[in-house]
Amino acid sequence: MINNCFLLLFCMLAALPAFCGQHVAHPRAFDSVEQETIRQIVDMERQAREASLRRDAEFPLRTLSEDYVAITPLGQVTTKQETISARRSGQLRYEELNVTDMVVRVYGDTAVVTARADVKGHQLGEDFSGPYRYTRVWVRRNGQWQAVSYQATVTQ
């Protein structure tokens, strides 16, 4: 079991450059199914980051559940359609998005991601740059991962 932990840790550390500075931490040892799930979720998070930077509206169209709800740092509730509309209209623009301190917790077909994000961006011309912490909940439905919830908080 200890060798599996070291192997997982080594694999994650070796892959870190591919995630542009993301740090992935795990609170306990995992079996091979959980390891694969964690790898898939880390990849979904990487894709989400890249899609945000590119203002790609197709990624949330494919990966957000129909009942998706996001809570902004100001407490506003945002739906899947509002998220897609903001991307398409260009209202929301990320110039930089650096994710670190990522932790992935797996509960069967549900994964909870917590992370830190240092952001530079604008929404409707207003600067929202700064440090954030976020939580995203992924659920596997019909073999595909979908985000069902997201919440971001401004930190210092």
On whether the CB atoms of residues 138 and 156 are closer than 8 A, the answer is no
* Predicted confidence band of residue 137 (pLDDT cuts 50, 70, 90): very high
The 10s digit of each residue's pLDDT in 87-132 is 999 888 999 999 999 999 999 999 999 999 999 999 888 999 999 9
| Three-state DSSP class for residue 107 | strand
What pLDDT, on a 0 to 100 scale, did the predictor assign at position 29? 58
pLDDT tens-digit series, residues 59-87: 999 999 999 999 998 899 999 999 999 89
Which residue in the block uniquely carries the two structure tokens 């207003």? 126
What burial letters (b/e) apply to 99-135, b meaning 16+ CB within 10 Å?
beebebebeeeebebebbbebebeeeeeebeeebebe
Per residue in 18-64, pLDDT tens?
Answer: 343 444 554 555 678 899 999 999 999 999 999 999 999 999 999 99
